[in-house]
A and B are shown apart, each in its own frame.
Chain A
């Protein structure tokens, strides 16, 4: 079955450490996205990529970095520069542009920084 996989599901890190969240999809989607969700809040866009080797900053890109070396993979690094990294991180993929099938989301990674 096609889908989008995020790992790990839960992640604990010490303050000041960089951490990389994995996102892999086998839906053959060109576009991939990273969103952050805080408790009781909506989704805020961190980075997105419409095509391999290209990505764009979203609304809250500061303190994060991404790469898109393969179509299937869009890892997110939460750097020590991110002031408040504890959150629920969601990866999504879609065909480019407004898709009638919407975005497909992974099951998310809950990051806790202590």
Chain B
């Protein structure tokens, strides 16, 4: 199946700093989804990107899909303590999702 690599594995930021996580694939992706999992919780769907070069925003979150559709990024502006959690990208296969390893974000107040 599809394999997606995510970096970094961990990120600690001061509250108010920005945060970015990157998702990379060796093959072209049809589309990509992003999820957030709070500590002790379950993954929650954030967004799906489909088009080459697509950029979508949700308040302080900006999602990008690369021109070649082989990479994607999630950028959070001015992090807050509520942003704490693990962010996963997921590549869509024919019948299921292949999740990246995730980036665990810690926000220091």
Contact = CB atoms under 8 A, between A and B. Distances in A.
A98 B48 contact: yes
Contact of A103 (B1, B30, B45, B104): B45
B102 interface: yes
Interface stretch (B64-72, B76-84, B91-99): B91-99
A58 B96 contact: yes
B109 interface: no
A59 B1 contact: yes
A108 interface: yes
Given A50-B95, A56-B95, A98-B31, A41 B101 contact: yes
> Interface extent on A, as a size class?
20 to 34
Interface residues of B, number: 24
Interface of A is mostly: loop
Interface string A74-114: 00000000000000001000001111111111111000000
A58 B97 CA distance: 10
A90 B44 CA distance: 12
Given A56-B95, A98-B92, A102-B48, A90 B1 contact: no
Interface string B13-53: 00000000000000000110101000001111110100000
B63 interface: no
Interface of B: 1, 6, 30-31, 33, 35, 41-46, 48, 88, 92, 95-102, 104
